[in-house]
């Protein structure tokens, strides 16, 4: 039995780890060439405000007296810039959110388990491509981009970790710290010629990470006075910083501004999941190279936000969070981040049709480069006779797309070029997903075979231990030897197949696991035969009853995925099991404990889910 328990633990550890390899592996690739738009950019510098934890509705909605929550930013989107909603992905956490914003890349779900300062980003970003980046804010966010950059051109200014006090009365002081230090920084540059010269260079990024809203949201909830007051302080701070920067550069009209958030927050004060309050974040862009507000008579969205926010007549431009990275790169003319999967939102740009077409072409080539690397990697680790390419972009299709697009640009058919680029980007993204999940079916089948084999073996062990069926297997030595060598041969074939494809060592574990498991099952063939004989000897009514019980159990498990309360039914049946089978006569104390624990456990599926809405009676 101890060997059986240890084997069970090891097998289930393999099953657990396999989930991360199959579904949560990083799609990151390396070896691409940087791609940059050849035309001069509209802006020399970019100011990025990230209001951590700011919900879209919290910023855009009006107060009870129809006054805006953030007057300055409301004025910007109504008179000076473009606006929309940035749609984030799960997990709605700070690290994945900032990576998507600044690198244009969605980290896999396991990224939330990584550290912050100890695990800098392993891929390119707008900060890395800039000539200089200065950033102010949280020590949890800024260092990971600075340490992940090549060279010494990303500078960080952080407050102490102790300042992030979730129990503080008002965390807006974190944002005030950022605004004050940015002002001091620019003031000090007037007496520092080196810094002054650097600030006047092109391709400069200023990043202000504002953590106060997130901290107040956790501590006091998003509908609290503290959360809303913090939004007003951020609005005032953004106004002061924007005015100061414009004055510093003599109102040269070469500064672009972006305000957004890494994620939202539920009414309960949490984030990380996929509720709209967590995934819908604001996006306001203004300044050099950015479109002015576009008046419209009508626009269709599935939600009713436009009416609620009284913004029906201003065009709403929604984007995916990763689209903001190529937007920033296009505005200041730096190469698109190498691992970006964002599509440049052209409607935000106020530039020539030629510039837009060239920018989209650069965007398409940059994503296509990732596709080529991913395809080459998969081709090198797959037998040529087994390799199945992504058909829409196989052979010379990518080259034909690029040649046709370049011809359209030369002929000044810019709309056609942009349309073709969007098609190519969508195909390249599909291709990236195709090659990233290329081995998913193969690995999934291997794990499924191992799981079914182990479950079968456990059932056989239970039958041998707790029934009057065959207790020991009378093994024939000759048959046993043949069986052992047969399974050993199968294992060697699988290992050789993986070896010639230079697969990772984890693949060996997943693919070889079914071999010993099924070997153990086949060794118990006499038990299986004995069980089959007993089942066939049952009366028809007993067989039908047994089949109905099994079917009902499976249905309850399936229904539990959609209706949690159905688990209660199954647990109550388990509670009555000792009585039904007369086991309580043999061990009354054990049977009573079993019944009580099952009834207690049956209560929990009936309880409401905590997280989206406050439930005071539950607390």
pLDDT of 113-171, one tens digit each? 555 444 555 779 999 999 999 999 999 899 888 876 777 899 999 999 887 776 666 78
Nearest to 432 by CA among 376, 490, 476, 484: 376
Q: What is the pLDDT of residue 612?
A: 46
* Model confidence pLDDT, tens digit, residues 400-424: 999 999 999 999 999 999 999 999 9
Q: How confident is the model at residue 191 (pLDDT cuts 50, 70, 90)?
A: very high
Question: Which ranges constitute the DSSP H helices of 275-396?
Answer: 276-279, 305-309, 324-332, 353-380
pLDDT at 619 over 50: no
* Model confidence pLDDT, tens digit, residues 521-573: 999 888 888 888 887 888 888 888 888 988 988 888 898 888 888 999 889 98
Identify the structural domains of the chain with CATH numbers, from first to last. 45-345 (3.40.720.10), 538-610 (no CATH)
pLDDT (mean) for 315-329 = 98
Nearest to 34 by CA among 310, 312, 337, 251: 337
Instruction: Tell me the three state secondary structure of residue 224.
Output: coil
Interior/surface letters 237-254, b for 16+ CB within 10 angstroms, e for the rest: bbbebbeebeebeeeeeb
Q: What is the pLDDT of residue 616?
A: 45
* 260 in Cβ contact with 317 (< 8 Å): no
The Cα 553–Cα 154 span in angstroms is: 59
Q: Which two tokens stand for residue 578?
A: 């000792």
CA-CA-CA-CA torsion sign (174, 179, 184, 185): positive
Q: Which of 39-43, 205-209, 485-489, 564-568 has the lowest mean pLDDT?
A: 564-568
Q: Which two tokens stand for residue 575?
A: 């509670």
pLDDT at 248 over 70: yes
Pairing of strands 255-260, 280-287: antiparallel
The Cα 100–Cα 88 span in angstroms is: 8
C-alpha dihedral (236, 238, 239, 243), degrees to nearest 10: 140
The Cα 206–Cα 238 span in angstroms is: 13
* 69 in Cβ contact with 61 (< 8 Å): yes
Instruction: Tell me the three state secondary structure of residue 76.
Output: helix
Angular region, 103: left φ>0, alpha ψ -120 to 50, beta rest: alpha
Higher pLDDT pick, 259 / 4: 259
The Cα 68–Cα 40 span in angstroms is: 37
* 89 in Cβ contact with 323 (< 8 Å): no
Residue 537, strand partner residues: none
Q: Residues 6 or more apart from 519 whose CB is under 8 A from it?
A: 483, 484, 487
* 185 in Cβ contact with 157 (< 8 Å): yes
């Amino acid at each position: 039995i101890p060997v059986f328990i240890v084997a069970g633990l090891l097998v289930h550890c393999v099953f657990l780890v396999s989930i991360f390899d199959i579904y949560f592996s990083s799609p990151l690739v390396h070896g691409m060439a940087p791609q940059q738009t050849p035309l001069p950019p509209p802006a020399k510098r970019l100011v990025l405000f990230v209001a951590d934890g700011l919900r879209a509705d919290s910023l855009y909605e009006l107060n009870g007296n129809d006054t805006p929550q953030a007057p300055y930013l409301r004025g910007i989107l109504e008179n000076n810039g473009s606006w929309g909603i940035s749609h984030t992905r799960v997990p709605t956490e700070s690290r994945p959110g900032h990576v998507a914003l600044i690198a244009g890349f969605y980290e896999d779900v396991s990224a939330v388990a990584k550290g912050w300062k100890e695990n800098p980003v392993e891929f390119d970003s707008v900060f890395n491509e800039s000539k200089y980046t200065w950033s102010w804010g949280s020590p949890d966010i800024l260092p990971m981009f600075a340490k992940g950059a090549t060279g010494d051109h990303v500078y960080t200014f952080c407050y102490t970790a102790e300042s992030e006090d979730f129990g503080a009365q008002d965390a807006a002081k974190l944002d005030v710290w950022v605004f004050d230090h940015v002002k001091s920084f620019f003031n000090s540059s007037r007496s520092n010629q080196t810094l002054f010269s650097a600030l006047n260079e092109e391709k400069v990024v200023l990043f202000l990470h504002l953590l106060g809203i997130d901290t107040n949201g956790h501590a006091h909830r998003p509908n609290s006075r503290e959360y809303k007051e913090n939004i007003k302080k951020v609005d005032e701070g953004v106004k002061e910083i924007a005015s100061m920067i414009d004055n510093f550069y003599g109102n040269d009209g070469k500064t672009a501004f972006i305000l957004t958030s890494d994620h939202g927050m539920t009414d309960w004060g949490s984030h990380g999941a996929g509720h709209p309050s967590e995934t819908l974040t604001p996006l306001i862009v203004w300044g050099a190279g950015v479109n002015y507000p576009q008046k419209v008579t009508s626009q269709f969205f599935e939600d009713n936000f436009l009416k609620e926010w009284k913004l029906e007549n201003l065009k709403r431009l929604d984007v995916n969070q990763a689209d903001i990275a190529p937007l920033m790169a296009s505005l200041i003319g730096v190469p698109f981040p190498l691992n970006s999967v964002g599509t440049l939102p052209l409607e935000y740009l106020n530039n020539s049709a030629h510039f837009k077409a060239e920018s989209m072409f650069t965007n398409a080539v940059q994503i296509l480069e990732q596709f080529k690397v991913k395809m080459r990697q998969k081709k090198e680790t797959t037998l040529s006779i087994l390799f199945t390419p992504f058909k829409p972009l196989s052979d010379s299709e990518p080259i034909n797309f690029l040649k046709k697009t370049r011809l359209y640009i030369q002929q000044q058919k810019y709309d056609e070029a942009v349309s073709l680029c969007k098609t190519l980007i969508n195909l390249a993204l599909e291709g990236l997903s195709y090659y990233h999940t290329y081995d998913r079916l193969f690995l999934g089948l291997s794990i499924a075979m191992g799981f079914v084999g182990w479950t079968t073996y456990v059932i056989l062990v239970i039958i041998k231990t707790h029934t009057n069926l065959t207790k020991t297997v009378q093994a024939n030595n000759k048959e046993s030897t043949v069986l052992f060598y047969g399974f050993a041969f199968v294992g060697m074939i699988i290992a050789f197949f993986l070896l010639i494809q230079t697969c990772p060592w984890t693949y060996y574990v997943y693919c070889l696991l079914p071999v010993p498991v099924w070997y153990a099952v086949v060794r118990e063939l006499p038990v299986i035969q004995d069980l089959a004989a007993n089942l066939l000897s049952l009366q028809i009514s007993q067989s039908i009853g047994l089949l109905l019980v099994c079917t009902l159990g499976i249905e309850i498990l399936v229904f539990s995925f959609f209706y949690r309360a159905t688990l209660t039914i199954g647990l109550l049946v388990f509670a009555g099991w000792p009585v039904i089978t007369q086991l309580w006569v043999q061990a009354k104390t054990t049977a009573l404990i079993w019944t009580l624990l099952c009834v207690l456990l049956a209560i929990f599926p009936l309880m409401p889910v905590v997280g989206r809405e406050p439930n005071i009676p539950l607390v």
